[in-house]
Amino acid sequence: MTPEEISAHQARYEGEVARQWAQGPSDGAHDLGHLRRVWRAANLIAMDEENVDNRVLLAACFFHDLVNVPKDSVLRRSASRLSAEAACTFLREDGFDPTKVHLVAHAIEAHSFSAGIAAETIEAKILQDADRLEALGAIGIARMFHVAGSMGGGLFDPADPMAQHRPLDDRQFALDHIQTKLQHLAAKMHTATGRAMANERTDWMLSFRTRLLAEIK
């Protein structure tokens, strides 16, 4: 696609996302900025991969959180499936290649950590890597604390911030989320580029934790 075509598609997709999100609660961790960052990261990863369909990747990146379900909802595991269904409805009406709509749907369904669906196409693997990068580095830390606060959790356990003498509980303490999930994401990346980016962001995240522990000691 040309830069002009990408911009035109992106504008339409963002318009549809904004329209659907207006019907539900806002989520600072899943906003248009998040979608744009995922698309930028996906573009970087795609440059080092072969046979990537950028039209499929663009649509999947901007619609992967189309139905935004709160993390503490019983419907959370269904969020990616619901997003895929809503995205496919829009894309068919928007004139998207009907033979490739299912590729967008699979990428969206497989991106979710909680859904547990294996990514089988290169577009799905790239989207999953790009979305997981958002959980790491500086932006990952900001989103981690934001989500924990929105769910009523605390920053950390002041008596035992590293959970040395208690079970990890990332619903109660945001900092626990690094140990329960985030520090393991880099090893689960599908692409070499995504893994390298994830390793760098993980190092930064762990250095932040070291600094935080020094300040609260």
pLDDT in tens, 60-85: 999 999 987 766 565 666 788 999 99
137-216 architecture in CATH? Up-down Bundle (1.20)
- The class of domain 3-128 in CATH terms is mainly alpha
pLDDT in tens, 135-169: 999 999 999 999 898 888 899 999 999 999 999 99
**Which residue(s) pair with 60 in the sheet?**
none
How many Cα atoms occupy the beta-carbon half-sphere of 216 within 13 Å? 15
pLDDT in tens, 156-165: 999 999 999 9
Tokens of 97: 């290649």
Q: CA torsion 86→88→93→96, rounded to 10°? A: 150
pLDDT in tens, 111-144: 987 767 889 999 999 999 999 999 999 999 999 9
How many Cα atoms occupy the beta-carbon half-sphere of 123 within 13 Å? 23
pTM confidence score: 0.91
Domain boundaries, the chain: 3-128, 137-216
Q: Do domains 3-128 and 137-216 have the same CATH topology?
A: no
pLDDT in tens, 21-40: 987 766 777 889 999 999 99
